[in-house]
Structure 1
Amino acid sequence: MFDCGKIAIIGGGSWATAIAKIVVAHTHHIGWYMRRNDRIEDFKNLQHNPAYLTGVHFNINEIFFSSDLNEIVQNYDTLVFVTPSPYLKNHLNKLRARISDKFIVTAIKGIVPDENLVCSEYFHQVYDVPYANLACIGGPSHAEEVALDRLTYLTIGCADTAKAQAFAEVLKSNSIKTKTSSDVLGIEYGSVLKNVYAIAAGICSGLKYGDNFQAVLISNALQEMNRFLQVVCAAEDQEYSFTVDSAYMGDLLVTGYSHFSRNRTFGTMIGKGYSVKSAQIEMEMIAEGYFGTKCMTEINRRMHVNMPILDAVHNILYERIAPQVEIKLLTDSFR
């Protein structure tokens, strides 16, 4: 039976805080890497994250904080990465300790910019972490609802099913239901694409398209996601489950519709006439789908999958095509 051992959280945002809450309730001890010492000191004094999910209180005696990533890596067995994907490389550039023998769990629903790799592939190719030691967390899971103990279903993906099950047991609670999957690549790519589609949904909302059209948009997004995942998983000779599973369709729905969705909020601002830069500044939070759109467009230039929604979002965000024009062309392509 695999033992996750001592578990550490890497990252200090809202999703990192929610996962820390889940894990420490089970283990009663976690390591926690945050890059800023002032943020750590404020956390210790306040007994909650000073910047995110401030209503979630922790027993500080159960947490070992450090701004030294190498210290955390050396002293913990399972490392749960929950940093925004655009910053992952910068954090890992500080790494001197070996991680190839660690159990790496990525809760990052994004892609590594410049590399155009989902996080598990990045850890495998750059840090020689074997696939059996790489897992991901998928499923519809807004941090705000997890923090409020609202019922949430998570999928743990890992090539080694015993390790997936062991980590699933760590997350399981009265409000967290878990299951496992071997489809790591599909879950990760699906989590990138659903952010892109949530931006599309937000743009359409900002343009005053109604619920009838939003349903058609999300239906077409699901088909588009399915087409891509079938191709990419076949190319990697990896098992793929159809997208009606909650790790794919469920995550797409909650990100496309929820008021907690950063990507939908970002898209809504773009639809209302904000520039990309002004929307990013006003949000003060990362919309991973902005970066994911560029990366997925570049990846699809190799895959040649028919992805009109992805193309439309890319044209709006990166080619500065007017949202009204691009979405009208998109609507004419739907049936």
Structure 2
Amino acid sequence: MKSSISVIGAGSWGTALAVALSKKGHDVKLWMRNEEQFLQMKKARENIKYLPGVILPNNIELFQDICGAVKDADIILLAVSSQAVRKVISNFKDVANEKQIIVNVAKGLENTTLLRISEVVKEELPKNAFAVLSGPSHAEEVCRDMPTTLVVASSEKTVAEYIQDVFISPKLRVYTNPDVIGVELGGSLKNVIALGAGISDGLGFGDNAKAALMTRGITEISRLGQVMGAELNTFAGLTGIGDLIVTCTSMHSRNRRCGIQIGQGKKLEDAVNSIGMVVEGVVTTAVAYKLSKEYNIEMPITTEIYNILYNDSDVREAVVNLMMRSRTHEIEEVVESKKMQW
């Protein structure tokens, strides 16, 4: 099955997915905003800034004209930062048609509205089908054909299965899930915990501390997710525990690398600038903190990371605050037995 796919955003993840899709024989249009990057990639057929050493196959067509890139595509894949999604859609929605499926791969929440990306897309393109693609997936590995698993969620089963067929390959296994809310929240909120894992590493703490952060972190994620309408089962899957593991433990993770520098004493702005790419967890921490207040949900790890990032709290005091919280029991549901219905 051959499809025409417009990939909006030529960062590391957008480029990696464009390469993976082109290897399956799809016609891929890759759009980027930056003219210098466009000229460099057109000349070298390589994304030197984000994925050096990965050559773009010939069936990837490069675009700077966003309307030209999305026109007549079967799928529009949004691979820009979460905060840029609304603006990017506004630049092409006049030429989009209702039959095009919108697939989001950004892992974040809109800061100004606290909306999930599916909700943003619904406001801007209310008649288009939507799917979110997420899971434990570093661009640096996907573009080099290392085995990776993803999950695609949509409210429409046929849409999820179509996107599954478009992406699945011997090196890229894709599962389906009806829980759009859970998949979006799992992919977004794990970045907050990854910042905390990086801070722990930067402080010189060991595996014990990281294991605790990850375990209690998934509890916080699922706690907020449930009150927002997500299925608890989702957080035990690829976009919950799976993505949390890979983002908290790998040096490919921008959020973890940023956290390490903060733990070592670097200011937030300097740490983010040194990464050279969007660190989604920084904005997501603020959104998650606001959501926890809005829904009256206890999220102590998120709260301490928020205070470190935005209130200049001392990182070591934050650790003491977490360790000396009121005594409580540990047995909490992270998964449940009921089967989700599509």
TM-score category (smaller protein): over 0.9
Per the alignment, residue 281 of structure 1 pairs with 273
The match for 2:323 among 317, 328, 331 is 331
Q: Does the 8 Å CA contact 1:118/1:188 hold for their aligned counterparts?
A: yes
8 Å CA contact 2:225–2:231 kept in 1: the answer is no
1:76 deviation in Å? 1.0
Match of 1:116 among 114, 118, 122: 114
**Hey, what does 1:241 align to over in structure 2?**
233
**Could you say which residue in structure 1 is the equivalent of 2:209?**
213
2:191 corresponds to 1:199 = no
Structure 1 unaligned blocks of 5 or more:
none
Give SS of 2:170's match.
Answer: coil
Instruction: Please give the residue correspondences for 1:3-18 in structure 2 after superposition, counting only pairs within 5 Å.
Output: 5-18=3-16
Query: Hey, what does 1:300 align to over in structure 2?
Result: 292
- After the TM superposition, which residues 162-241 of structure 1 pair with which residues of structure 2 at under 5 Å, given as runs? 162-233=158-229, 239-241=231-233
How far apart, in 2, do the equivalents of 1:271 and 1:137 lie? 31
* TM-score, normalised relative to structure 1: 0.92
Identity of matched residues, %: 30
Residue 320 of structure 1 deviates from its aligned partner by 0.9
Work out whether 1:55 is the aligned partner of 2:47.
no
Following the alignment from structure 1 to structure 2, what is the Cα–Cα distance between the partners of residues 152 and 28?
A: 19
> Residues of 1 paired with 2:108 and 2:114: CA distance?
10
Deviates more, 1:280-289 or 1:94-103: 94-103
Q: Residue 333 of structure 2 corresponds to which residue in structure 1?
A: none
**1:80 aligns to 2:77 (yes or no):** yes
Report if aligned partners of 1:27, 1:170 keep a CA contact under 8 Å in 2: no
Deviates more, 1:82-91 or 1:106-115: 82-91
Deviation at 1:129, TM superposition (A): 3.9
Q: Which has the higher helix share?
A: 1
Residues in 2 aligned to 1:310 and 1:280: alpha-carbon distance in whole angstroms:
18
> What is the total number of aligned residue pairs between the two structures?
326
Amino acid at match of 1:24: S
| Aligned AA (1:185) | I
Amino acid of the structure 1 residue aligned with 2:155: A
TM-score (norm 2): 0.90
**Partner AA of 2:151 in structure 1:** T
**Cα displacement (A) at 1:208:** 1.5
Q: CA RMSD in A?
A: 1.8
Q: Identify the residue that residue 322 of structure 1 maps to in structure 2.
A: 314
Deviations 1:106-161 (A, max 9, x none): 0001112212111111001233145xx11011110011111222111110111111
5+ residue gaps, structure 2, are: 331-342
C-alpha displacement at 1:229, in angstroms? 1.1
Is residue 38 from structure 1 mapped to residue 30 from structure 2 by the alignment? Answer: no
Distance across 2 between alignment mates of 1:4 and 1:296:
39
Q: Deviations over 1:151-180 (max 9, x none)?
A: 111101111112211111221112111110
How far did residue 8 of structure 1 move? 0.9
1:140-179 to 2 correspondences below 5 Å: 140-179=136-175
Any runs of at least 4 consecutive aligned residues in structure 1 with deviations exceeding 4 A, and if so which?
Answer: none
Query: Which of residues 104, 123, 126 is equivalent to 2:124?
Result: 126
Return the offset for 1:296. 1.4
- One-letter amino acid matched to 1:76: A
Q: CA–CA distance in 1 between the matches of 2:32 and 2:104?
A: 16
CA distance in 2, matches of 1:245, 1:49: 32
Change (3 A) 1:4 1:161: farther
**Whole-Å separation in 1 of the counterparts to 2:231 and 2:304:** 29
- Which amino acid is the alignment partner of residue 110 of structure 1? G
Conservation of the 8 A alpha-carbon contact between 1:4 and 1:78: no
1: CA distance, partners of 2:40 / 2:134: 30
